[in-house]
Amino acid sequence: MTKNALLLQLLILPALYFIEGCASPAPADHTLTDQEQACWIEHPINNDVVGQIGIARDIYIGGETPKTKSRKRALASLADYLAADINIDTVLNSIDNNTTSVQLNGQTVHFIADISMDGYIHSFATLSDAARIPSLKQSPKQCKALACDISACNPKWLCTPSGNGERAVLGVSYLATSPVEQHYKSIKNALLQAEYMYGVNIIAHKDLSQTNSDYFRYNILRQDGHIDTGKKESLSYAVTDRCFSKSTLFSRVALYGETNHLKATSITDNQWLSDPKYLGYDGAIGAVQRPVASGLISDQIKLAIKRAAIQLAFEKESAVSEELVVIEYKSGNYLFLSYINEDTDVHLKARVLSIHFKEGKGDRLEVFAWLARIN
C-alpha cells in the first residue's frame, strides 16, 4: 500500500457516529475551551519546534481509538516533510494510545499530550524533544488564536507565504465534512499552486471584435484557456502555520527538497499590482474581482493564478491573425469591422510570488495573483 493510499484510508471517517450505546475512549490528555489554543495547532513548525498535527473525531465506535487515528495522521504528515523513503505502514501499525515515540527515517518522533477541542482529538508528532521545550511539556503553553484577516494581510504570510529563504504556498479551504477533511483540502489546494513550478502546458485563445461606424462603437474580447499540470509531483512539504477567518481555514504550506534552489524573496509592498515586472521578475497578474460560481475563496485564487499563467503564455509565444472589413454606404457613411485572433500553446514554469486580497463593493472579496516565470 502506498503512503498516499494509506493516508486516504486513514481519512475515511465512520458514518455511524451517533449509534446509541457507543463506548467512549479514554479522554484526551487536555481539553481546551474555545478561548484556549495550543501553540502547535497554529504553528506546528517554528524556530523551536518541528512537527505536524493529526486530527480525528473524538467518538469511539470500536477498532482504533480516536487518539491512535490522530497520531497516525500526524506521523503520516511528518513523513511528507521528511520525504521518508521507508515502509511507512510498519511504523504506523506500531502506534497506539501508549506510544510516546517512534523511529522515522533515522530520526526520533515524539508524541506529546493530545488535546480534545470542539469534539476532535488533535495530536502532535514532533522531531523536537518535548522535555526540553516549554511549549511542548505535559501542560501545554497556550497561545492566543491568530486574528486572521486576509483583506489586511494579517498575518503577512496570507499574502506572501514565501520568505526567509523558504518557498511556501497558501492553502485555503472552506467548511468541509469535518475538520479532518478541511485540513487536508487546504493542503491539496496549496500543492496545486506548487505544480506550476514544475511546468504546466497552456493552450489558450482570445479574439477581439471591434465595430466602428458613424452611429455606434463597441469592442468585444473573448478569452478561454486550458492548463494541464501533467503528472502530479511527489513533493516534500509541511504545514508551518494555520489560522481561521470565520469558517475558512488558511494554511501556509512550505516546500522543501527540489525547490530550495528557487529564490524566495519576501515581497514587502504591493507595487507589483501596477507593475507585474516589479523587482525584475518576468511576471503577470491575474485578477478575479467577482465571486466565482462556487462562492469559494480557494476557487477565486485558482482562477486568478490561471489568468496570470495564460497572460504569461501569450507573452512567451503566440500566433496572431487579423481581418479588417470596411463597408462604405451610398450615403457616404462607413462601417469598420475588425477581428483579431491570438492563440498560444506553450509549456511554462512559473511560481506564485504574492497574492493580494481586497474588499470590494458589498463586502465581496477581490483576489489578485502575481505569477512569475521560472527560467
DSSP string, 162-173: -BTTBEEEEEEE
**CB-count burial class (<10 Å; 0-12, 13-18, 19+) for 51:** buried
CB atoms within 10 A of CB 336: 13
Distance (Å, whole) CA 324 – CA 211: 10
The answer to whether residue 15 scores a pLDDT higher than 60 is: no
Q: Name the residue type at position 337.
A: L
Distance (Å, whole) CA 43 – CA 45: 5
CB under 8 Å to 329, separation ≥6 — which residues?
A: 335
Binning pLDDT at 50, 70 and 90, where does residue 175 land?
A: confident
- Say if CB 276 and CB 368 are below 8 A apart: no
Q: What pLDDT shows up at residue 213? A: 82
- Give this prediction's pTM: 0.79
Give percent of the chain with pLDDT exceeding 70: 84
Distance (Å, whole) CA 39 – CA 49: 10
Q: What pLDDT shows up at residue 141? A: 59
Binning pLDDT at 50, 70 and 90, where does residue 31 land?
A: low
The answer to whether residue 101 scores a pLDDT higher than 70 is: yes
The answer to whether residue 130 scores a pLDDT higher than 90 is: no
Residue given cell 497558501 in the structure block: 170
The helix/strand/coil state of 297 is helix
DSSP string, 19-73: -TTPPP-PPPSEE--TT--BHHHH-SBSSS-BEEEEEEES---SSS-HHHHHHHH
Please give the domain boundaries of the chain with CATH numbers for all domains. 3-145 (3.30.1660.40), 193-373 (no CATH)
The answer to whether residue 115 scores a pLDDT higher than 50 is: yes
Binning pLDDT at 50, 70 and 90, where does residue 184 land?
A: very high
The DSSP secondary-structure symbol of 135 reads: G
